[in-house]
Structure 1
Amino acid sequence: MSKKFVMSFSGGKDSTLALYKMIKNGYTPIGLLVTVRKDANISWTHSITKELLNKVSESLEIPLMLVECEVSEYETKFIETLKKAKDMGATSCVFGDIDILDHRRWCEDRCNEVGMEAILPLWQGDREDLVYEFIDSGFRTVIKTVNLKHLHSDFLGKVLNYDIVKQIKELGCDVCGENGEYHTFVVDGPLFKEEIKIKKKGIVINEDYGNLDISI
């Protein structure tokens, strides 16, 4: 049975940890599937530029499979890219979701449409345990986006460590950010050939969200 998979990749801690677990279990990634806004130079949700995504792809030595789409065509374009991955030998698509059932159903439905398996290595894991596993594994990630209803913009650019996790927890937020409290961008760790050097250009506020503007 083929152990090749395509990774539904955000550039954040959860999808990176899921990727790490799969590789440790003997699976081979054939590509990083990343959804990107058609009208902009950034990924959906985490707002990471194509330039940075290419750097991550080079450092991980895994090809990038960009899905450029508008909201209305998100599912269609995602499925098209899954079909390409299947043609390249992938029998499964891996996701970094933890315990939100609607997310799991979406992943499984998309995979079922193309005859692939949806694998969620973090599923039903304790959220706090998963954050510490990520940190203890040697990964380094910066907080890229925050929901200002939950976290102050001062968290932007901070490296996620035990102290920051404690601060997030004390504010009554989910330490994993699974409810959208924050998103991260992973810059280094055991899968990386070299660290992604970033320049912090400032903070952009868009309604309820603060986003760290970064570049190479």
Structure 2
Amino acid sequence: MINEKFVMSFSGGKDSILALYRMIKLGYIPVALLTTIKKEEDKSWTHGLTKGLLLKVSESLSIPLITVECNVSEYETKFEEALHKAKELGATICAYGDIDIQEHMNWDIDRCTSVGIKAKFPLWKENREKLVYEFIDTGFTTVIKTVNLKYLDHKFLGKKLTEELVLKIKETDADICGENGEYHTFVINGPIFKSPITFTEKGKVVDNGYAHLIIE
């Protein structure tokens, strides 16, 4: 058993959940989920999840939530402030769900270095397709929350990510894992959840080339 404490950089999507699951299985102890929220808006960056939904996930996982409310200009500073909070809780590591985009990894490492903790990447450089199937086969349930309309039709919104749906995504020539932003997901159940996350669909909206499922 490792018993080293970590904070999870958490989007609510499949990659961060899979990374969290792997860390826990290895014996690391999560002290918090760290999620960035758009300043003066009740939604997270990239995945557009309300604070209420994130708190539901936090409760189901039995892991406290640290929210970073910020705009673009203060994103780095506020993220590091949140890492300091996690460090006070005993975290010596921040784990990330990034797979193979070097620019993202560099940013993550810089934030951790500035605060004096380690950065860990449980999924780094693994095959994207295998990771998607591992996520599904492990028993997690996720719905597609956002799609990039350059790659995927808005009809994918709200669909559960199954092996059959993965094949349909593959047929569009979009990246099967959505690592380049082709789609984002919201994980609602799985082996580390005490209970499934319930939500209400409030419609769909198109903004700047992306279609989003509005849920509360």
Aligned amino acid, residue 18 of structure 1: A
Are the aligned partners of 1:34 and 1:65 in contact in 2 as well (CA < 8 Å)?
yes
% identity of equivalent residues: 61
Which residue matches 2:58? 57
Q: Distance in 2 between matches of 1:214 and 1:114?
A: 34
Q: Distance in 1 between matches of 2:88 and 2:134?
A: 34
Q: Distance in 2 between matches of 1:61 and 1:38?
A: 26
Shift in Å at residue 207 of structure 1?
Answer: 2.4
Look up the SS of the partner of 1:141 in the other structure: strand
Aligned amino acid, residue 205 of structure 1: V
Which residue matches 1:182? 183
Q: Distance in 2 between matches of 1:119 and 1:113?
A: 15
Which residue matches 2:9? 8
CA offsets 1:88-111 (integer angstroms, 9 cap, x no match):
110000000000000000000100
5+ long unaligned stretches in structure 2: none
Structure 2-normalised TM-score? Answer: 0.98
Q: Distance in 2 between matches of 1:31 and 1:64?
A: 6
Q: Equivalences for 1:118-197 in 2 at 5 Å?
A: 118-197=119-198
CA offsets 1:137-196 (integer angstroms, 9 cap, x no match):
000000000000110000000000001100111110110000000000000000100000
Q: Distance in 2 between matches of 1:64 and 1:88?
A: 12
Are the aligned partners of 1:8 and 1:95 in contact in 2 as well (CA < 8 Å)?
yes
Shift in Å at residue 2 of structure 1?
Answer: 5.7
Shift in Å at residue 201 of structure 1?
Answer: 1.4
Shift in Å at residue 199 of structure 1?
Answer: 1.3
Aligned amino acid, residue 153 of structure 2: H
Are the aligned partners of 2:14 and 2:186 in contact in 1 as well (CA < 8 Å)?
yes
Aligned amino acid, residue 31 of structure 2: I
Q: Equivalences for 1:89-128 in 2 at 5 Å?
A: 89-128=90-129
Q: Distance in 1 between matches of 2:32 and 2:88?
A: 12
The answer to whether residue 81 in structure 2 is matched with residue 80 in structure 1 is: yes
Which residue matches 1:66? 67
Which residue matches 2:201? 200
CA offsets 1:80-138 (integer angstroms, 9 cap, x no match):
11111111110000000000000000000100001110000000010000000000000
Shift in Å at residue 38 of structure 1?
Answer: 0.9
Q: Distance in 2 between matches of 1:210 and 1:13?
A: 18
* Range 183-192 or range 199-208, more displaced: 199-208
Look up the SS of the partner of 2:123 in the other structure: coil
Look up the SS of the partner of 1:192 in the other structure: coil
5+ long unaligned stretches in structure 1: none
Are the aligned partners of 1:6 and 1:31 in contact in 2 as well (CA < 8 Å)?
yes
Give structure 1 regions of 4+ aligned residues with deviation exceeding 4 angstroms. Answer: none
Q: Equivalences for 1:14-33 in 2 at 5 Å?
A: 14-33=15-34
Aligned amino acid, residue 99 of structure 2: I
